[in-house]
Chain A
Amino acid sequence: MAIITRRTFMQAAGAAATLPVLGNKAFAAEKIKIGFIFLGPVGDYGWTWAHNKGREQVEKELGDKVETVYVENVQEDASAIPVIRDLAQQGCKLIFTTSYGYMDQTVAVAKEFPNVKFEHCTGFKRADNVATYNSKFHEGRAVLGTIAGKMSKTGTLGYLGSYKVPEVVLGVNSFALAAQKQNPNAKVKLVLIDSWFDPPKEAAATETLINLGCDIVTTHTDSPGPLQILEQKKLYGFGQGADMSRFAPSAHLTAIEDIWGPYYVERVKMILDGSWKSSDTWDGMKEGTVVISPYNKVIPDDVKKMADDIQKGYKDGSYDIFKGPIYDQAGTLKVKEGETMKLADLAVIDWFVKGVESAA
């Protein structure tokens, strides 16, 4: 374990020179280096935090054979190129770039290092040594939508999102469709705040949604701020990316957890045994990438059962929220009865389903 954890770092800061040197263990055997590029700080308790958990799992399971290195707070501009290149030059055999905004930079560096393998998260540009991977977060949204549709008294649900990107659009649609299965009149009010992380704005947007009649708000931004607001107002919401129940024990109904560890471990193992190939992976509940946190005890048993059934359905392939008929906001039929949206169409979706109220 070469990375200093937060805790040891602070202990070291406190105890100054009395502690033995941390983070500088000499490596007896030559370990294979695995690199990670992170968008936020590992302590964001959201997106980057979840990816770092995955990195920690690689350390835990394969720590005798590999060493992991990460860089946090890497901007999604041209300056990401040297950071990615650095990891390649330092001998990393596999590098995970964990945000969409590193797509072109990853491809550019990969051209320079044909012998290093790259994995870009949520992008679509691949090469012989660049694989892409993503997670079907929207499967989790269907579970949340079901719970929200059942538990909302007003039938007006809030959705706090970041930007209009396919991942968020899918989340909104999945949530709205699932809620409407329980309550055909359910409406979803959508606010996109132009940021993945802005706690004060997330909080104010949550209050706004509540004030406009939403009694359940789900978040597709990264901070636990909205849940804290819901806790104060004695309303309900869901965690994003991780189990956030500690921030809002009563308001937190459940959460979608991003579990990257199994995929990371699998891919690192492929590097170790030489079987790594470029691929496009879009895992979901079935593969354990999307996990639903333990339910809050206020969720009635019948609702819990419905939520469990959807999870089961996704795991055995019998359930899909994007089955027709599906109408868009204007009421145009987009998916006919009996048809199911294909993954390729889901990946580029840019329209909201009927019942979603949003600004242009």
Chain B
Amino acid sequence: MKILIKHPRVIDPVQALDGVRDILIEHGKIKKVAEGLQDEAARVIDASGCIALPGLVDMHVHLREPGREDKETIASGTRAALFGGVTSVLAMPNTAPAIDSVAHIRLLKERIRKTAAANVYICAAITKGRQGKELTPFAQLKAEGALAISDDGSSVDSTALMFEAFKSAKEHDLLVICHCQDSALSGSGVVNLGFTSTRTGLRGISSESEFRRVERDLGLAAEAGARVHIAHVSCRESVALIAAAKKKGVRVTAETAPHYFTLTEESVLGYDTNMKMNPPLRSAEDRQALRQALGDGTIDIIASDHAPHTENEKEIEFERAEFGVIGLQTELSLAINELLEPGFLDWTGLVQRISLAPARVLGLHKGTLGIGVDADIVIVDPRKDWVVTKESLVSKSKNSSFLGKRLPGTVAYTICNGVLAYENQREAPQHPKGGG
């Protein structure tokens, strides 16, 4: 199958390309990027006025399979990904069972092979059962295909064990993704500690509970010489610590999620449980620091932390509701709205944060539109707005912080592995199979 994309503005940081070109796709790869391409046999997509980017690589996604298929499945989650222009996701291991053994990776890979609509890569657990007690077999997990390890959802509280994890990860050149939370400090909090927690009468989670753990993990990773990635950075103190570590040459990358650079703690004042996530929404100053850090590259990556939960788990008292919100379908539009339009990033910078940098961190030859690269492409119409509604969200769960919001930038087409996998308002009949 050949596809010829005509006249989009093509953005590719690797080629330093930002201009109107045509793109020819053949055998799942990018064949040519040039002006005035013709091909009689190709399906032609007229992308005049649209922007073509390397497909988004979202390195923080909870697909909930196996174990919580009522919240999301690999099939439904990857479908949501394609709708959002995301062609590759890293699946987090806090499933039931946790992805902590070769057997579990094999099971997961089999399900991915059968049901994924986009590329799904695997992050395995740092400790068995994510219990923080005993390390998983890193070498075997890596050999079986795990691209990274993380106990995401919790942090390994034992400093000694975490140090061992970093040393072993260094030996096997495995990326360690850290969910930084000192649970002794965060306690049973549910919102940012400060005026908001006081006003709502809800228990607070201090920034300190995050940045103290960021500080610890950066120190341990530096000592071990390991590659460390800080997940869902929410506060300005963490940003400062990451900046300082980078300056010292620590092999650190970091991500934040769209809700942290879009919203502030004030959003929880109405007790909307779709504003409840961990870490919590922070202050306006924190949000500003995150935007600037994405602008200057201190924070390398935008990832959704897509965390589906059922209505039964969300439509209850705030304190009792689950933490987490979905985000695969809204991350590109939010990045356009909050980072591109205010000038924190240009299109090239945006592609770096949301596509190229995560691909490089995970060691994937993606995030670029170079010749011979897997044809993962998203075509966005920047002139078209859309409204986030339960109906427009194709994830199994509808727990978005942005329900009812009008957002800029509509995904017109998503091409995954050279196949037209999503076309605005209706999916193409043929589905590519995910790798990983």
**A and B bind:** no
B residues lining the A interface (CB < 8 Å): none
